[in-house]
Structure 1
Amino acid sequence: MSTDYGQLRRKAQDEVNTELADIEDPFEKRAAAEEIRDQAYMELSMLKQERQQLIASAALYEYTPQLHERFGIQRHQMKRLTMDVLYGLEGRESWHYPPMWPADRVAAAREAGVAHPDNVVGKAEEIATRYEYAEARRDAAVAHLGAAREAVRLAGGRVKVPAPERPDFEDVRQRARDQLLEQFAKLVTTPEKQLQLAAEAVDRAEEEAAELLVERDAAMNTLAFYTTARGVYFSAGISRSGMTRAQQRALGLPRDAAVPPRPELPAAGRAAGVKFVEDAAEKLPKVAAEYEAVEAQRLTAIEIRDAAVRVLHAAPYGWTPTQLAEAIGRDRKIVNRIVNPDEMY
């Protein structure tokens, strides 16, 4: 049975919250939180290299489509770790996403001198569990550090900020879509290469969008909870209901729960540990525009990828769903939905 990483992270977070709950003085709480954070950083530093080596070994010698779940990470993260072990990609500014998996993983691993310990998947999962636990403790401690600073800064009220800009998001999305279509239109290549490039574009956009979404919501929630800004969702490129859902997530509320009225939001945000982002009024429009551009390119790349999948599935190529799933790094069910959209899966 695989480790429940969500439960593991919640346990680590609860432990940190319990350790700091009875400390009321912000200076004492800051010192205690810094100690927990530093201990976690030390643990992460000690585990980092061994974790990467074991995960890479497991991915190369004993790969399965859902292997990344055993280590509490996404598929593209496992690929990054593995490709760095094979090709030394870490720290390079010239690449944006790892190359495709080698045609023969085992041969590539042996050529690179990657060891294959007994029970490598189990050992990788064990060290990944320790790593995720330390990372969750670090993140929980950092959240407490931020909350202590915010409580002093806000003093129970709202910070006055200038009205944030409202980008033309439709224009942002269209320009991003056109840019990617233009890039692929210039390519003179085989269907196989088209599929590879499109799949990499989807993966890259997913990774970038996930990171930008966190930044966007953090800036948006700062403005909504702690500042004088109004109509913040216009600057985020979403609807009022979308902002409400983001606030519910930040406060740990279910979808059907009411968000506290505006006068109560500062206190509710602090109680829930919602972080205060510096320069949020300037940051939100920029990050939101970046997110919408990347999301538009993600959807466009999916269209290109799916078209290439259908071409390679049909004659004269005749690729099987299993081959296509391996090529795009996705579950076979996704390929089945692409090539047989009218069937139920």
Structure 2
Amino acid sequence: MTTDYAKLRERAAQEVTSELAKVKDPFLRRAAAEEVRDQAHMDLSSLKEERKRLIAAAALYEFRPNLHDEFGIGRVHLRRLAMLHLRGLDARDDWITPPPWPADRVKAARAAGVPHPENVVEEAAKVAARYEYAEARRAAAVAHLEAAQEAVRTAGGRVKVDPLERPDFDTIRETARKEIVEEFATLAAGPEERLRRAADAVDQAEEEAAALLPERDAALSTLAFYTTARGVYLSAGLSRQGMARVLERALHLPRGSKLPVRADQPAAARGAGVRFVPDAAKELPRLATAYEAAQARRSAAIEVRDSAVLVLHAAPYGWSRTQLADAIDRDPKVVARVVAPEENS
């Protein structure tokens, strides 16, 4: 059974919060948080290489769709680890997108001398769960350390910040969309290769956006709750309603809830464990720009991918829904929405 990594990380964070809540003295609590952070860091260091080795072996010898979910990582990350092991321990990991899978993963792995441990998927999942647990504990401890510093800085009111940069998000999105459109417009390749490359582009954009979103939301929450900044949504590429959704989640409120009045927000945010991001005023425009660009690339790549799906599903290729789903490493329902939209209407 696949580990629910979201729940595992949540449990690890809650454990750290409970442990530190017992320490009332702020200086002792800071020391305790540092101890948790350092122990988690040592745990991560001891698990890092074994995790990479086992996940790579599992990906090469026993690959299946959504295997990455069993290790709590993304599709591109899974392929990156596998390709690193195929190319040797000294291989550079500076790819924008990792090289494509070899035609025969098992043959390539054997040729590269990659070991195939017994029960490798199960063993890799066990190590991955321990790794993610330690990483979540470290992140929680770091957040508590930052919260201690924030509590001092924001005591009695809000931190003053200069007016925020307001990027031109329409232009940013259009530029990012054109990057994908132009890349595939000049690609001299058949529909199968176009499908593979478009699927890779979707995966890459999704993982970029997923990595950026928590940082963007943390910076936005800091500015909205702890500083004098106004019109924060304009620097985040959001509407007022979109920003309200982010702030509701930060305060653990149900969707559509009324936010506390501005004067009560710093205390409410501290009570909800919202961390303070020291450079939020500089970081938010940068993070939001990168996030919106990634989302625009994803949308454009999905259009290219879906067009290739339609071509390969039709004559003379006649690929089945299952073949197409395997090719893009997605659930067959994704393919069904493209080739038979009437079934989902």
Task: Please give the range of the TM-score, normalised by the shorter of the 2 chains.
Answer: over 0.9
Q: How many residues align?
A: 345
What is the Cα deviation at residue 206 of structure 1?
A: 0.9
Q: Does 1:318 align with 2:308?
A: no
Confirm or deny: 8 A CA contact 2:74 2:207 kept in the other structure.
no
For residues 315 and 177 of structure 1, do their structure 2 counterparts lie closer, same or farther at Cα, with a shift above 3 Å needed? same
Report the AA paired with residue 18 of structure 1.
S
- Matched residue type, 1:134: A
Q: Which residue of 1 aligns with 2:141?
A: 141
CA distance in 1, matches of 2:190, 2:164: 46
For 1:113, the aligned partner's letter is G
Amino acid paired to 1:175: T
Q: How does 1:191-202 map to 2 (within 5 A)?
A: 191-202=191-202
Q: In structure 1, what residue type is equivalent to 2:287?
A: V
Please name the residue that 1:111 is paired with. Answer: 111
* Residues 153-209 of structure 1: per-residue CA shift (max 9 Å, x gap): 111310111121222222221222123212222222222222222112111111111
1:213 maps onto 2:219 in alignment: no
Shift of 1:88: 4.5
Query: Which residue is equivalent to 1:331?
Result: 331
Counterpart position of 2:309: 309
Residues 58 and 124 in structure 2, CA contact (< 8 A), matched pair in contact too: yes
Counterpart contact for 1:83–1:89, Cα < 8 Å: no
- Root mean square deviation of aligned Cα: 2.0
Is the alpha carbon distance of 1:142 and 1:308 closer, same or farther for their aligned partners in structure 2, counting shifts above 3 Å? Answer: same
The runs of 5 or more residues in structure 2 that have no matched partner are: none
Per mean C-alpha deviation after superposition, the further-off stretch among 149-158 and 90-99 is: 90-99
Normalised TM-score (structure 1): 0.93
Per the alignment, residue 161 of structure 1 pairs with 161
Superposed counterparts of 1:125-274, under 5 Å: 125-274=125-274
Q: Distance in 1 between matches of 2:3 and 2:328?
A: 26
How has the CA–CA distance of structure 1 residues 89 and 257 changed in structure 2, closer, same or farther, with 3 Å as cutoff?
farther
Query: Which residue identity lines up with residue 202 of structure 2 in the other structure?
Result: V
Q: 1:201 to 1:320 in 2, by over 3 A?
A: same
- Please give the alpha-carbon distance, in whole angstroms, between the structure 1 residues aligned to 2:89 and 2:321: 30
| Structure 1: distance between partners of 2:162 and 2:179 | 32
Instruction: Encode CA deviations 1:82-108: one digit per residue, 9 max, x unaligned.
Output: 222222588846411212222212112
Q: How far apart, in 2, do the equivalents of 1:216 and 1:11 lie?
A: 23
AA paired with 1:96? Answer: I
- Following superposition, the deviation at residue 273 of structure 1 comes to 2.0
Structure 1 segments of 4 or more deviating over 6 A? none
- Distance in 1 (CA, whole Å) between partners of 2:287 and 2:89 is 27
What is the match of residue 18 of structure 1? 18
Looking at structure 2, the residues matched to 129 and 177 of structure 1 have their Cα atoms a distance apart, in angstroms, of: 36
Q: Contact between 1:245 and 1:255, CA under 8 Å: does it hold in 2?
A: yes
* Alpha-carbon distance in structure 1 between the residues aligned to 2:255 and 2:174: 31
Deviates more, 1:18-27 or 1:293-302: 18-27
Partner amino acid, structure 1, of 2:127 = I
Q: What TM-score does the superposition give when structure 2 sets the normalisation length?
A: 0.93
Letter in 2 for 1:138: R
CA contact (8 A) 1:156 1:267 kept: no
Distance in structure 2 (CA, Å) of the matches to 1:186 and 1:121: 40
User: 2:209, 2:291 within 8 Å by CA — same for their partners in 1?
Assistant: yes
- Per mean C-alpha deviation after superposition, the further-off stretch among 272-281 and 218-227 is 272-281
Contact 1:163 1:229 in 2 (8 A): yes
Looking at structure 2, the residues matched to 168 and 14 of structure 1 have their Cα atoms a distance apart, in angstroms, of 39
The structure-2 alpha-carbon separation of the partners of 1:177 and 1:87, relative to structure 1 and needing over 3 Å to count, comes to: same
Return the alpha-carbon distance in structure 2 between the equivalents of residues 112 and 172 of structure 1: 42
1:269 shift after superposition: 1.3
* Aligned CA distance change for structure 1 residues 74 and 240 (closer, same or farther; 3 Å): same
How far residue 77 of structure 1 moved from its aligned partner, in angstroms, is 2.5
Deviation track 1:243-262 (CA, whole Å, cap 9, x = no partner) reads 11101111222214322111
Structure 1 residue ranges without an equivalent (≥5): none
